[in-house]
Amino acid sequence: MLATAESCTGGMIAAACTDLAGSSEWFERGFVSYSNAAKTDLLGVPGALLLLHGAVSEPVARAMATGAVLRSQAQVSVAVTGVAGPGGGSDAKPVGTVWFGWQVDGALHSEARQFRGDRAAVRAQTLWHAIVRLNELMA
């Protein structure tokens, strides 16, 4: 079973999964944790990680992926946290920066991507990469 933990995509990954007929056989639930408080409350992301690294970071993406498995009946998760724009970027984390986390068969994976385009483009590319990489990790 799969659980999603989404910030910058606001549930788009869960929606793409549940668009598929029969997804109730493998999709367990989705967490939309847009705020830092939601990341802590819903997924158990430690506040210290958020303060030290910021929401858009590898440690937070990994904690989100872990929390999605621990707080669901799923064995697999995908998590995304990023800066979709048009505002909110910084020199260290410009618009289009997205951190991903996946937990598959107990193994935790993470990576960052830098996407180009407007808000819709960044979110669409995030959705696509999250699903493609998840499929690769499960193969």
Question: How far apart are the C-alpha atoms of 65 and 78, rounded to whole Å?
Answer: 6
Which domain does 44 fall in, by range? 2-138
**3-class state of residue 41 by DSSP:** helix
Residue 87: other Cβ atoms inside 10 A: 8
Residue 43: other Cβ atoms inside 10 A: 25
* Domain tally, the chain: 1
Q: Which residues of the chain have pLDDT under 50?
A: none
80 neighbors 70 (Cβ within 8 angstroms): no
Nearest CA to 18 among 5, 32, 34, 30?
A: 30
CATH code of the domain in which 65 resides: 3.90.950.20
Which structure tokens are listed for 29? 């639930």
Q: What is the pTM of this model?
A: 0.97
Q: Over the stretch 84-120, which tens digit does the pLDDT of each residue have?
A: 999 999 999 999 999 999 999 999 999 999 999 999 9
Question: How far apart are the C-alpha atoms of 30 and 11, rounded to whole Å?
Answer: 7
Which structure tokens are listed for 139? 């193969």
Kindly state the helix (H) or strand (E) to which residue 2 belongs, with its residue range: strand 2-6
Mode of pairing for the β-strands spanning 2-6 and 27-32: parallel
Q: What is the pLDDT of residue 110?
A: 98
Q: What is the pLDDT of residue 17?
A: 98
